[in-house]
Amino acid sequence: MSKQPIGIFDSGVGGLSIWKEITTLLPHEDAIYLADSAHAPYGKKSADEIVRLCKKNTELLLEKGCKLIVVACNTATTNAIDILRKSYPVSFIGIEPAIKPASLQTKTNTIGVLATKGTLNSNLFSKTSSLHNKDIQIIEQDGEGLVPLIEKGAINSPDMEELLEKYLSPMLDKNVDCLVLGCSHYPFLIPQIEKITKGTIHIIDSGKAVARQTNAILAKQKILNIDTTSSSKHYIYTNAGQETVYYFTKDVNRNISIDHLDF
């Protein structure tokens, strides 16, 4: 089982930011990534629809022999991971907004959370926020429109700049000094965010923490791949156009196969 791949899925290409962190920390692990771009974004869907899509993705990864599944989507994690853990016989690792690290690092006692509507409205997000909002002011912002632009590869477009200005300016006005990226798509926007905020906001995402947790669970279950004699293989499947996948993986030195798959 140790040589079986890690499974990762997201509502599109955003989870490739998580995939990069996992494969950097665990260079000998094979991975299968599902980019469910045909159904992106998950953030505006109902909880029932999100659960249905997550089950579909999970079952496809299990059919391909994955030993562990990373839900590399904040909306999917906050709405479906408890159900997935009860329904399938593998371990799941989720991703949720890093409110705790932000609350520990803020100097102004005001943090911002940029996330999708589906994440901000979830019970898990509400529960997490309530643990840290007694002494900390949390400014929530729905990043509507950001994911579709990222899915098109329009990272540096005027539309992207306009949306980010619209979402970040009120946070700056309220003295936010830590910004939590509550969607796995958003780390691809860090250069633009830093430009707009002029380096005055500490940006926090969960990628490295998810990679460390993946390593810890594999080690605990004794299913880490300890074979260092062969290079790892990575299979990325998308049910939409492949151009954006190529765009976000072009800088990665991995043995990667990118294919279209209807799912």
Q: Active-site positions? A: 73, 183
Angle (CA) 130-133-134 rounded to 5° is 105
End-to-end CA distance of the chain, in Å? Answer: 25
Of all helices (H) and strands (E), which one includes residue 111?
strand 110-115
- Pairing, β 6-10 against β 68-71: parallel
Determine the residue type at 191.
P
Burial class (CB in 10 A: 0-12, 13-18, 19+), 132: middle
Q: Is the CA virtual torsion 177, 72, 82, 119 positive or negative?
A: positive
**Residue 56 contacts residue 69 (beta carbons within 8 Å):** no
